Amino acid sequence: MKKLVFVGFLVGILLWLAGCGSTYRQIEVEYPISPYTKYKALNLEVVSPDSVDKEELESFRELIILALQKRGISVVDTDNPKLIVEVLNFNKDSKFLRYALTLTIGGPFTQYTSNTIEVKVSIKDRERIIELKEFQEYKEKIKDWEDLKKTVANRIADAVYFAN
C-alpha cells in the first residue's frame, strides 16, 4: 500500500511539473525605450540561399520585425542603417518522423531534434559594416520549430538593442 501511495505521489508531482513547464509562454518582457540605444530605426534585409523556403523566411522576417518593435526599434525602408540577417542554414524536422519515433521506439530518441537555424548578423552603417560577434558562429537547436524562430529573432533584436 505504501508503494502505491508513493507511486501516486510521484505521478502527481510529475504532472504538476509538466503543467508548470508550459507557463513560460505567457510571460511578456517589457523593454524600456532607452535613450542610449544607438539604432532607433533600421532597414531590414534578410538574405538566404535558394534552398530556404520563402514562406518560412517571410515568417522569420516578421518575427524579427515584431521583436525589434518590442524594443522600440522601428523597421523602415529608407537609407537608415541596414540590419543584414544572413540565414546560412534553415533545417526543419518533419512531424511524421517525430511521431513515428515516439510510437515505435520512444525514450530518448523522441528528444532528438534537427531543427536548426544558422544565422550571421551584421549592421551596415554608412560605409562600414559592423558584424555582431554573438552571431559569428551561431547555431541554435530547439525541439519546437516556432519557439526556435522566436528565440533566434529575439536574440537578434537583443543584440541590436544593446549594440553600441
Q: Write down the pLDDT at residue 2.
A: 81
Q: Which domain holds residue 155?
A: 42-161
Is residue 19 included in any domain, yes or no?
no
Q: Write down the pLDDT at residue 62.
A: 92
Is residue 25 included in any domain, yes or no?
no
| Residue 126 in grid coordinates | 554608412
By three-state DSSP, how is residue 6 classified?
helix
Is residue 22 included in any domain, yes or no?
no
Determine the Cα–Cα distance for residues 156 and 1; give it in Å rounded to an integer: 55
Is residue 102 included in any domain, yes or no?
yes
Q: How many structural domains comprise the chain?
A: 1
| Residue 56, C-beta contacts closer than 8 angstroms, at least 6 positions apart | 90, 92
Is residue 152 included in any domain, yes or no?
yes
pTM assigned to the model: 0.70
Q: What is the CATH number of the domain that holds 69?
A: 3.40.50.10610
Is residue 6 included in any domain, yes or no?
no
| Residue 78 in grid coordinates | 529608407
Q: Write down the pLDDT at residue 30.
A: 62
Is residue 114 included in any domain, yes or no?
yes
φ, ψ of residue 118 to 5 degrees: the values are -110, 125
Q: Write down the pLDDT at residue 101.
A: 67
Distance of CA 54 to the CA centre of its chain: 17
Is residue 110 included in any domain, yes or no?
yes
Determine the Cα–Cα distance for residues 158 and 163; give it in Å rounded to an integer: 8
pLDDT in tens, the chain (164 residues): 888 888 888 888 877 766 665 555 555 666 666 666 777 888 898 888 887 788 888 888 899 999 988 888 888 888 778 888 888 877 776 666 666 766 666 656 556 666 778 888 888 888 888 888 887 767 777 777 788 888 888 888 888 888 76
Strands (E), the chain: 41-47, 74-75, 82-91, 116-125, 128-131, 138-141
Determine the Cα–Cα distance for residues 134 and 157; give it in Å rounded to an integer: 12
